[in-house]
Amino acid sequence: MHLFKFVKDNGNILCLERQKWDSDFFSRESYNLNIDKSIITQEPNNEESLSKVLTKSFIYTKIDSNINVKVLDILYKYSFRYIDTEMILRFFNSKVTLEQGPFTIKDIQVNKNLPYKMLGSTFLYSRFHSDAHISNKKADELWILYLKNFLPTERNKMFIAYDEGQVVGVMLINISAQREATLFYVAVIPSHQRRGVGRLLINHVLFFLQTQGIGIIRTETQAKNINALNFYLRSGFRIIDKSLIVLHRWK
């Protein structure tokens, strides 16, 4: 269940969607500013008008980079700050051929006994690592805990790469009700990076999705993560959907 808070100021209406997981993790009320449900057209009456309603809070939002620049100016006056730019990529190859390699790829139904710390500590460029309010250790903890709590279902898939029984990589997939897939949380343990684990993982995932009749497959990564961008481009993705500006606000 989503809990919404609407903050009104001088004709602006900010729709804040409470994030329970983030609130628990950061020990402060955390919200996503839902741009689609907000009205942001006027200069703030007071730069701290949000603080009058929300104390000790964390708010984030992701905005289409083509949005009216005035919206960004207004949010900046509400103490939002730029954190990152995310690129949304879409898969374009028409047919995937299943590859074989030295690693075994499995679609698992039970999430247990994985090297959570090694896998969750591989994200160097996430928006949380880019935020000066969050230490790298805390950002790592977030991704470790996220993976540990991930529950595989028919719509939330977990693919694991094994090297002679040892877990060496993971990839998570969300399949929407509209039968569109999003690939996220791609991680390979340090000892097996640059050995083809990621390439084999994504090949098996794409093959699986195509066998399920899913034609729209997307992923996203940070614009500054050049290695990840090249990895997805080599795998048949293209930067065509959009880019998102990520803003955070701490008070």
User: Quick check: is 44 in a domain?
Assistant: yes
In a domain, 102, yes or no: yes
Measured CA to CA, the distance from residue 55 to residue 68 in angstroms comes to 28
pTM of the model: 0.90
CA distance 31 to 15: 9
Q: Which domain holds residue 13?
A: 4-79
Q: 199: domain CATH number?
A: 3.40.630.30
Q: How many domains does the chain have?
A: 2
**The one-letter amino acid at 27:** S
Please check whether residue 160 is in contact with residue 105, taking contact to mean a CB–CB distance below 8 angstroms: yes
Tell me the per-residue pLDDT of 220-232, one tens digit each, with 9 for 90 and over.
999 999 999 999 9
Residue 84 vs residues 15, 77, 184, 185: alpha-carbon distances, Å: 21, 18, 17, 17
User: What integer pLDDT is reported at residue 54 of this predicted model?
Assistant: 81
Percent of the chain with pLDDT over 70: 98
The C-alpha torsion from 46 through 51 and 57 to 61, rounded to 10°, is -20
What confidence score (pLDDT) does residue 2 get? 61
- Looking at the structure, do residues 99 and 35 belong to the same domain, yes or no? no
E strand map for 81-144: 81-91, 104-108
Closest CA to 21 of 32, 10, 12: 32
Residue 220 lies in a domain: yes
Q: If you search the block for the tokens 């690592």, which residue do you land on? A: 129
Query: Over the stretch 163-172, which tens digit does the pLDDT of each residue have?
Result: 999 999 999 9
Residues in the chain: 251
Which of 251 and 37 is assigned the larger pLDDT?
37
226 domain residue, yes or no:
yes
Query: Are 126 and 213 part of one and the same domain?
Result: yes
pLDDT tens digit sequence for 28-72: 999 999 999 999 999 888 666 677 778 889 999 999 999 989 999
Asked whether residue 109 falls in the same domain as residue 189, the answer is yes
Final residue belonging to a domain, choices 55, 79, 103: 79
Which whole number is the average pLDDT over 122-150?
95
Per-residue pLDDT, averaged over 126-143, amounts to: 96
Residue 23 parent element (H or E): helix 20-26
Domain end among 79, 109, 141: 79
Confidence (pLDDT) at 117:
96
Tell me, yes or no, whether 11 lies in a domain.
yes
Determine the pLDDT at residue 47: 62
161 residue type, one letter: A
Residue 123 CA: distances (Å) to CA of 22, 205, 238? 18, 20, 22
Name the average pLDDT for the chain: 93
User: Quick check: is 157 in a domain?
Assistant: yes
The pLDDT confidence band at residue 240, using thresholds 50, 70 and 90, is confident
Q: Give me the pLDDT at residue 59, please.
A: 96
199 contact partners, CB below 8 Å, separation of at least 6: 99, 231, 234, 235
pLDDT in tens, 185-220: 999 999 999 999 999 999 999 999 999 999 899 999
CA 61 to chain centre: 12
Q: Are residues 44 and 103 in the same domain?
A: no
d(CA 90, CA 87): 10
